[in-house]
Amino acid sequence: MPTYLPRPIAPDVVEELRTVDDAGRPAAAFADREGGAPLRCCLRRSERGETIALVSYAPLRRWAARSGAEPGAYDEQGPVFVHGRGCPGPAGGGLPFTEAHRTVRRYSAEGHILGGELVTDGDFARAFRNAFDDPAVALVHVRAVEYGCFLYEVRRG
């Protein structure tokens, strides 16, 4: 049975984003007053008082540069939370951010959207199997329904 593991934003990319994000803006770290922000660097929710930054991130951009894909207009960017400095990385365990409805968006090797699935029952294993049963799917993004924000990437494992 295949394993599908969530992939956080890589530490070297987080370092880049802390300096200048993918929209060309400098990141501004701040103390999270409320806690609960979905941190894409370690795939957990922030704690109250933790130093975080909201940055613009283009989730297909670096993958496309390495793979030769040309996503065109699908090379979108959007807001993500990361630690404002230092990050211990993922703690491991189950899938993150599953407490609300999420979409599993499918991408081809060219970086084009092939469709998606709204996951309302929490069965992400089924949604990932459905996506990767199509040999044209190279990777998937799990996204928040509320704002459409990128949460994490999953590839065949």
Report the mean per-residue pLDDT for the chain: 93
Q: Which tens digits make up the pLDDT trace of 31-47?
A: 999 999 999 999 999 99
Q: Do both 70 and 128 map to the same domain?
A: no
What was the pLDDT predicted at 66? Answer: 94
User: Which of residues 48, 83, 118 is at a domain's end?
Assistant: 83
pLDDT over threshold 70, residue 123: yes
146 and 108 within one domain: yes
Which structural domain, as residue segments, surrounds residue 117? 102-154
Residue 40 lies in a domain: yes
Q: Token pair of 134, please?
A: 């199509």
Q: With respect to residue 1, please indicate whether it lies within any of the assigned structural domains.
A: no
pLDDT attached to residue 135: 96
Query: Are both 110 and 74 inside the same structural domain?
Result: no
Of 55, 83, 111, the domain-final residue: 83
Q: Please state the rounded mean pLDDT for residues 99-124.
A: 94
Instruction: Tell which wins on pLDDT, 15 or 95.
Output: 15
Domains in the chain, number: 2
Any domain includes 89: no
* CA nearest neighbour of 9 among 81, 70, 115: 81
Answer yes or no: is 21 within a domain: yes
Question: Are residues 73 and 119 both part of a single domain?
Answer: no
**pLDDT tens digits for range 41-83:** 999 999 999 999 999 999 999 999 999 999 999 999 999 999 9
